[in-house]
Amino acid sequence: MMTANRLGNLVQELQALTGDPTKGLPEEVFLYASQITPLVNVDLLIRDEANGVLLTWRDDGHYDAGWHVPGGIIRFRETFSDRIHAVARQELGASVVHDSAPIAINQVIHPTNTIRGHFVSLLFACRLASPLAETLAAHVPPAKDQWQWHKTCPKNLIPVHHMYRPYLFA
């Protein structure tokens, strides 16, 4: 059993190696944190009367490859709004406006994942405030981090995002 003093020293060493957590964490620290605490993320529901729902292709090894609602994990001392805008820039090359409160809050506990296996997911209704980056538009087959409009639910929507079906394709 580890003594409190040894554990304290290890925590101090880890803090020294981590850097500024508001800028994100080193991958190893982030993955460890995801093993010991739930993660909070925002998901962006972007609908367009003419085009349907905007989804992005995910292929990161944590879940099977497939379409998903754009989203991201909130960093330390980051607001919901800041993460929503960062996701829009990073995943869509665009800016958005969003409602002030989420339209859905879900708890996701993956039955077998010990890394990135527990989330509190906040779904925000968003509207595009600028054009999408055409360089990120999906091709056939889609590649990681590309976007595409969908008028119906794709067969390869990642399973965890089926919780959003009532909002996506009502």
18: in domain: no
Q: Which domain holds residue 87?
A: 25-168
Secondary structure element (H or E) that encloses residue 46, with its range: strand 39-48
Residue 46 lies in a domain: yes
pLDDT of residue 64: 83
Instruction: Report percent pLDDT > 70 for the chain.
Output: 99
Tens digit of pLDDT for each residue in 54-68? Answer: 999 999 877 789 999
Q: What is the number of other CB atoms lying within 10 angstroms of the CB of residue 25? A: 19
149 inside domain? yes
- In a domain? residue 20: no
- Does residue 50 belong to any structural domain of this protein? yes
Is residue 93 assigned to a domain? Answer: yes
Neighbours of 40 (CB within 10 A): 15
Any domain includes 16 = no
**Lowest-pLDDT choice from 17-21, 79-83, 132-136:** 17-21
CATH at 83 = 3.90.79.10
- 17 located within any domain: no
Between CA 54 and CA 149 the distance in angstroms is: 4
Residue 121 and residue 160: Cα distance in Å, rounded?
Answer: 11
Please give the Cα distance from 160 to 50 (Å, whole number). 26
Look over the chain and give the mean of its residue pLDDT values, rounded to a whole number. 93
Instruction: Tell me the pLDDT tens digit for each residue of 114-143.
Output: 999 999 999 999 999 999 999 999 999 999
pLDDT grade for 168, boundaries at 50, 70 and 90: very high
What's the domain count of the chain?
A: 1
pLDDT value of residue 1: 60
For the chain, list the strands marked E by DSSP. Answer: 39-48, 52-58, 66-68, 71-73, 96-98, 104-109, 118-128, 147-150
- Asked if 88 and 126 count as a contact pair (C-beta separation under 8 A), the reply is yes
